[in-house]
Structure 1
Amino acid sequence: MSNFNSTIRSKCKKLFVAAIDFGTTYSGYAFSSTSDWSKVLTSNWTGGKVVTLKTPTALLLDANKEIKAFGYEAEDQYIDLARDEEHEDYYFFHRFKMILHSEKAISRKTKLKDATGKEMEAIKVFELSIKFLVGALMKNLKNSYTDIKQSDVEFVITVPAIWDDRSKQFMREAAKEAGIDKSSLTIALEPEAASIHCQYLPAKDHALSLSKYLGELAVGTKYLVADLGGGTADITVHHKVDDGSLEEMREASGGPWGGKSVDDAFEMFIEDIIGKESMKQLRTTSFDDYLELMRNFEMKKRSVKPGKEGNTFLSVPLGLVQIVKNDKSRKSLEKAIENSPYAGKVTFENWKLKWKNENFLRFFEVTIRNIKAHLREILYDSDMTDVETILMVGGFAECEVVQNAVREHFKTKRVVVPEDAGVSVLKGAVFFGHVPDAISRRKARYTYGIQSWPSFNPAKHPENKKVEVNGKYRCKDVFFKYVTKGQVLTLGYEKAQIFQALNPKEKKLECAIYISDSRDPVFVDDPGCRRLGVLTIPLPDLPDGAAIELEESMIFGETELRFQAKDIFSGKSYEVQMDLLGDTVDEDE
């Protein structure tokens, strides 16, 4: 490692920083002490005969919704229960994180369906998963530090940078319910964490056939970070500034192009062959066979080589063969294949599906096409022509098929893949907990503002926005801008506005916060504008006739939005958590 730790001290006030990487397909934890913070220790999980640094994101609950197992153990126990036909009363959830990306109106009441279709509140599923990981972490710590308490640990939880503020708050609330004190929790953005980690670790650079430290990149260098995880491709551009910290040069963007999208293509292939009803049966009543099939595919997905001639074989569970055999319209898996769009491209021999490698690689096509198109859109932007390095991190970045596709498409760029790309986010999140100012500037993903009611001006306000409030004409729905989409925001950038309660008898002041995809929205109901949430601020008791004035501040430039309110009369300050999920607002004085 570089001399980074000798020149920068941990800013954490606790004894340890622990990171939880809660992934779509795999999860894990890592930690380090403030005294030797660059020495990061990771979790070890046993799956069969293999020991890995992450475990499947799978949760098994009993009939009382109590934790039975998590990870490999959850999968194995559920398989045993399913084979004995004793699984119906249990709850089994896996690969559920993507609901926070795909569900636009996520709330505390959002439901998740388990493997058999039983519903449960999504926030409870996340809470119990985090609770298990925290418990495993603390058990690990106590093995070496018997007197350690949870209050001695600063926690960091990773989220995709492309997540909106609502999804971040959902994860924060789940962590709070799992027992993590909110003052001891930091949210880290996944590509940022990976970038921080890779600043100081050696990487295999196949394009130049040498090892290089990203930490040795010159001040002023820009590089693209492509965090390719299980669920999403999370892409941003970083710039190394004079003090050695990183500046975000382009707001994070991406889409659902992680490893799971390749799995989805394979599942669609199977469904096209055996039919929707048989596929539904496989996923529910024969879930053990479904899980075995997907595990087998995962192994082939990781081992297949780009450009290599030959065949790929995939073992098929007996249960799948039996389901197709019981379908009178298909009779057998062989006949189902012959009558499918894939006749001649795949065969079933000796209980195995057989493809030519070139046909098997087609499962990657759409995902890789989307990744390349998005990278091209960024790299060909006029402001990004000096970006010469692509840093690929995340579990899906370890796939040779993906690496080769990026290298072949961007031959003039230097493609860097760390040796431990799959845990770059996890280890970098630990670093971030120690040095939260490692990212010194970020770009605003949206234009942020509030709903304002200024005095009506007939010269610039349309008549249909004219309303009367307490005897005065005002213009409703005006978008009062705080920051502009794409604006560079330093850490703790604060935008304040003084408000006067329109009704002196009010007990609270409600301030609607809006975001827009436009740089210069005029009204909050313009196209591309939407309400983020409502900030509710308690109003003080004042003598009759006294003016009620509050200074409301929004604090930008961090991984989460923060809000503060100051009573002008008393000078008292409040930090207020805006509720984005639909129920009560949590306030702290």
Structure 2
Amino acid sequence: MSDSISGEDGTLSTQPRPENDDDSVPLPLPLSLPLLLALSGSPGGLGLLPLLAASGAPSGIQKANRVKKDSLTQKYGQQAGRFRQTTGNVAAIDFGTTFCSLAYTTSIAKDDIVTLKLNQYHSRVPTAILLKQNGTNSIQNFNADDPVIRSPVYEVESFGYEAQEQHAKLRASERFKYLYFERFKMTLQQDEGVNRNMSIPSSSDTKCHLVEVIAFILQYLKKELSNHLLQSGSGVLISDFDWVITVPAIWQSRGKRMMREAAYQAGLCSSYKTIDRFIQVGHGMPKQDEDNPDKLSLALEPEAAAIYCQTMSNKAMPDHCKVDGSIQSDRYLVIDIGGGTVDITAHRHNEEQGIEVITEPIGNDCGGMKVNQEFSKLLQKIVNDEGNFAKEAFSRYLDTKESGVLATRKAILNELLNRRFELAKVTFGSKACGKDSLPAGQDDDDIAIELPYQFVQFYGVDEIESGVAALQDDRIELDDTTLYMKFSLVAELFQPAIDGILSCTASVLERLKGDIDTIYLVGGFGGCKYVFEKISTLNKANYKEHSIRIIVPKDHSLAVAQGAVKYRLEPDIICSRIMDATYGTDICPPYLPGRHDRKYFVGIDSRGIPRRRDVLLHYVDRGEVINSDEVVTAELCPLSDAAKSMKIDLYSTLDKDLEYIKDEEEKPIPSVRKIGEIEVDMPNEESLPREKRLVEMTMDFSHTEIQVRAHYTVTGMQVKATLDFLTNNATQ
């Protein structure tokens, strides 16, 4: 529970409940005032709240005030109502599960958005990083007296395709010097277990904090852009840039906060922070300081893609989905299908205000990696080395005590499953349209996957041939060390991903009753012709009367990064959103005999006002439309004259009518979860009594992240306010 206060002396006075449980006990003070001080459940705070439920809210529901951002500007100055300003120098990182890209623009170039080449040939490269010990113990900003144990110093040896290739070719005797990470972003989707201390294993099974691995990658991308700017003679410094990092729309607050804290560690928001070693797992990761937080924005991937799609031209489409007339749309879906996730959002184009989000985001984990996972299962079956709840996949192959050999074998598996099969998968995706269900004898097309020599040597050609024969499927054969698979069999590997994509798509279309005119397909896997064909088939079968167009941008894999730059330049271009949950905090408002359940009566405060416990103050409700020019406010005062800060617990629930966070027996209600903690500074340079030291807290729910600000009403100055979603005692 949050900090609590009551009464002039900061204490909560209680009295025994009457045995007859009579709710008609006379009240010490009249409750006819238009406003009452409602006791915040947080150690410190009082909120000025309406006595009765807000207009439109169910009886008993406590609703916070909602105001226009312009009103904050009038009270506290120009900066107060503006949450995401920019100088016009913007860099956006599309940090994907399998691939990443970086786009940028400058105030000089204005609307000219450039996609940075991350190697000699590619603007989009695998999210793979190889780190090498540099053999020294130096570290910038390292405090020798710091008790936290840190690893040796690491430098980025290579990134992207080069990292994959170099990692695959490392000698077993050298692997102890390296850490290799790839395809780890999906770890953040399971929001409940995400925290600062979360770790992931490298290819050599060395565990490192996930937030630091992400920070190394972000720092590398920052340096790549900095070097490019210097070489191009643009005159723009890397410190002049504001940053955007894209995240899946289905992510919750914890995953988003991890990306923000990684950005702080990487020095995206400051010129002095760097990372070159890891805090050893087992030693707690510290909370990151809020360094220039307004220099960083997070953008939802399908929303960034929506911005891109609404501004592209007909020339930006491949031939297989050309349409007549304008490709802009009034009501449309964006389906962003990357390597890890499927993200779908529905939008309406508002000519005067921008883009309205008209449904809650929906999605799942049926991205392109799902196909690779199905191939892995098939291969495990062939070599009789299947994984289950008791053992990992390819456990016989990975059963070795030699760390260098283990790392080499993992690298070989990675090469097979995520590079060789990936190339074959792309071939199928571009050529299989109409060929995946041909009758036997006409299914002549196939893909070829060459098995690595070391893999074949370990299992043996005879065992692999026997495994293929045991499948009793003439659509797959082994010729020497190469597997050949007919298109119809590969289509079966695609099917779980296709089913997941179509299920989400149908769910949104059903909710909107098919009332859209366009579907935009973006993301690496979203641009696959085979996926396009399957969604087209769904559309023709169920929504033919709506004439829904399906459009794939030619730069479908770069749409998110480029759209994210536009989002930062015009943050209010997404003019409204639908809330995905109800958010609020616990308070102790007045108790009214005859109206409130006696079991929630907690006592009488020092002002003589009866209070009830564990009431959820609703900031916003699930399904509610939040406009980009609106914020929620509450006034707070500290627990005592000496208090310098206060903490407020933030809760989330899918129940928009929930009144209490605990039941009659004071047990937590399962449908509500604590998701974070707000900490607000409470200054007192004037030595005023606490009741005059009001701080107005402002919460913005209209963008990708929940943002909090606070102003000291005595001086009008902004004070520090942080919202931490990674606290250990959060239960989300």
- Residues 455-488 of structure 1, C-alpha deviation per residue, up to 9 Å, x if partnerless? 2334344444332375664322211111111211
How do 1:502-517 residues align onto structure 2 when only pairs under 5 Å count? 503-517=640-654
Query: What is residue 526 of structure 1 aligned with on the other side?
Result: 669
Distance 1:342 1:140 in 2: 55
- Are 1:240 and 2:349 an aligned pair? yes
Query: CA distance change for structure 1 residues 348 and 46 in 2, over 3 Å: closer, same or farther?
Result: farther
For residue 451 of structure 1, what is the aligned residue in structure 2?
586
CA distance in 2, matches of 1:207, 1:380: 26
Aligned equivalent of 2:508: 378
1-side partners of 2:728 and 2:672: how far apart?
22
Gaps of 5+ in 1: 1-10, 585-589
CA distance in 1: counterparts of 2:472 and 2:325, whole angstroms:
45
Counterpart residue type for residue 412 of structure 2: D
Aligned partners of 1:206 and 1:416 also within 8 Å:
no
The structure 1 residue matched to 2:333, chosen from 200, 205, 224, is 224
- Distance between the aligned counterparts of 2:558 and 2:472, measured in 1? 37
Kept in 1, the 8 Å contact 2:91–2:102? The answer is yes
State the Cα distance separating 1:254 from its structure 2 match.
0.5
Residues of 2 paired with 1:116 and 1:469: CA distance? 61
Residues 284 and 512 (structure 1 numbering): CA distance in 2 closer, same or farther, change over 3 Å? same
State the distance in 2 between where 1:420 and 1:208 align: 13
Moved more, 456-465 or 505-514: 456-465
The yes-or-no answer on 1:67 pairing with 2:156 is: yes
Alignment of 1:322-401 (within 5 A): 322-325=457-460, 332-339=463-470, 341=471, 343-381=473-511, 383-401=512-530
Report the counterpart of residue 176 of structure 2 in structure 1.
88
For 2:560 and 2:202, locate their aligned partners in 1 and report how far apart those are by CA, in whole Å: 28
Letter in 2 for 1:357: F
Partner of 1:79: 168
Q: Is the 8 A contact 2:216 2:266 kept in 1?
A: yes
Q: Secondary structure at the match of 1:557?
A: coil
CA distance, structure 2, for counterparts of residue 546 and residue 420 of structure 1: 58
1:287 corresponds to: 410
- Asked whether the equivalents of residues 513 and 533 of structure 1 are also in contact (C-alpha less than 8 Å), the reply is yes
Structure 2 residue runs without a partner (length 5+): 1-83, 134-151, 270-292, 399-405, 436-442, 662-667
Measured in 1, the distance between the counterparts of 2:610 and 2:85 equals 52
Q: 1:296 aligns with which of 404, 408, 420?
A: 420
Work out the CA distance in 1 between the residues paired with 2:462 and 2:319: 49
* Greater RCO, 1 or 2 (C-alpha within 8 Å, sep 6+): 2
CA distance in 2, matches of 1:345, 1:464: 68
Which residue number in structure 1 is paired with residue 40 of structure 2? none
C-alpha distance in 2 between matches for 1:469 and 1:107 = 39
State the SS of the aligned residue for 2:655.
Answer: coil
CA–CA distance in structure 2, aligned partners of residues 376 and 278 of structure 1: 33
Whether contact under 8 Å (1:314, 1:353) holds in the other structure is yes
CA contact (8 A) 2:521 2:550 kept: yes
The 8 Å contact of residues 40 and 427 in structure 1, kept in 2 or not, is answered as yes
Q: Specify the code of the residue in structure 2 equivalent to 1:332.
A: E
Separation (CA, whole Å) in 1 of partners of 2:111 and 2:216? 30
Report the CA distance shift for 1:545/1:269 in structure 2 as closer, same or farther (over 3 A).
Answer: closer
Which residue does 1:196 correspond to in 2? 307
Q: Which residue of 2 is the match for residue 551 of structure 1?
A: 696
| Structure 2 CA distance for aligned equivalents of residues 540 and 441 of structure 1 | 34
1:97: which partner in 2? Answer: 185
Note if contact 1:451-1:477 (Cα within 8 Å) is conserved in structure 2. Answer: yes
In the alignment, what sits opposite 1:250? 359
Corresponding residue of 2:616: 479
Could you say what secondary structure the match of 1:437 adopts?
helix
Pair member with larger Rg: 2
Per the TM alignment, residue 36 of structure 1 is displaced from its structure 2 partner at its CA by: 3.3
- The CA deviation string for residues 173-203 of structure 1, in whole angstroms up to 9 with x for no partner, is 1111111113322211111111111112125
How far apart are the structure 1 equivalents of 2:689 and 2:108? 56
- 2:106: which partner in 1? 33
Q: Which residue of 2 aligns with 1:320?
A: 455
| Cα deviation code 1:388-421 (max 9, x no counterpart) | 2111111101111111110011112211111111
Could you tell me which amino acid in structure 1 is paired with residue 551 of structure 2? Answer: V
Q: Distance in 1 between matches of 2:622 and 2:720?
A: 25
8 Å Cα contact 2:191/2:252 also seen in 1? no
Residues 59, 71 of structure 1: 8 Å contact kept: yes
State how far apart, in whole Å, the 2-side matches of 1:504 and 1:254 are.
49
The one-letter amino acid of 2:294's match is: S
User: For the residues of structure 1 that align with 2:472 and 2:111, how far apart are their CA atoms?
Assistant: 51
Q: 2:306 matched to 1:306? A: no
Structure 1 distance, partners of 2:298, 2:585, is 24
2:640–2:690 CA contact under 8 A, matched in 1? no
> 2-side partners of 1:139 and 1:59: how far apart?
18
Shift in Å, 1:17: 1.6
Q: Which has the higher strand share?
A: 1
Task: Please list the CA deviations of residues 320-378 of structure 1 after superposition, one character each: whole Å capped at 9, or x if unmatched.
Answer: 212212xxxx9621113334x56544221121112221011111111111111111111
Pairing of 1:133-282 with structure 2 (within 5 A): 133-145=221-233, 147-181=235-269, 182-201=293-312, 202=314, 203-204=316-317, 209-210=322-323, 212-215=325-328, 217=329, 221-243=330-352, 245-274=354-383, 275=385, 276=387, 279-280=394-395, 281=397
Q: Report the alpha carbon displacement of residue 581 of structure 1 after superposing the two structures with TM.
A: 1.3
What corresponds to 1:57 in structure 2?
127
Which shows bigger deviation, 279-288 or 479-488?
A: 279-288
* Amino acid in structure 1 at the alignment position of 2:122: T
Contact 2:468–2:477 (CA<8 Å) still a contact in 1? Answer: yes
One-letter amino acid of the structure 2 residue matched with residue 32 of structure 1: T
Give 1:143 deviation, angstroms: 1.3
1:468 and 1:508, CA in 2 relative to 1: closer, same or farther beyond 3 A?
farther
Amino acid at match of 2:394: M
Segment drifting more, 562-571 vs 253-262: 562-571
Pick closer, same or farther for the CA change 1:290–1:545 going to 2, 3 Å.
closer
**Contact 2:191/2:251 (CA < 8 Å) preserved in 1?**
no
| Deviations, residues 490-518 of structure 1 (Å, cap 9, x unaligned) | 11421112234455554432211111112
User: Which string of whole-angstrom CA distances, capped at 9 and with x for unpartnered residues, describes residues 149-190 of structure 1?
Assistant: 112222221111211122111111111111111332221111
1:176 and 1:460 map into 2 onto residues whose CA distance is 49
Number of aligned residues: 561
- Provide the rounded CA distance (Å) in 1 between the counterparts of 2:414 and 2:506: 36
Q: What percentage of residue pairs aligned between the two structures are identical?
A: 29
* 1:12–1:34 CA contact under 8 A, matched in 2: no
| Paired residues of 1:79 and 1:287 also in contact (CA < 8 A) | no
Corresponding residue of 1:494: 631
TM-score when scaled to structure 2?
0.72
Is the aligned partner of 1:466 residue 2:598? no
Q: Any conservation in 1 of the 2:172–2:408 contact (CA below 8 Å)?
A: no
> Residue 359 of structure 2 aligns to a residue in which SS?
strand
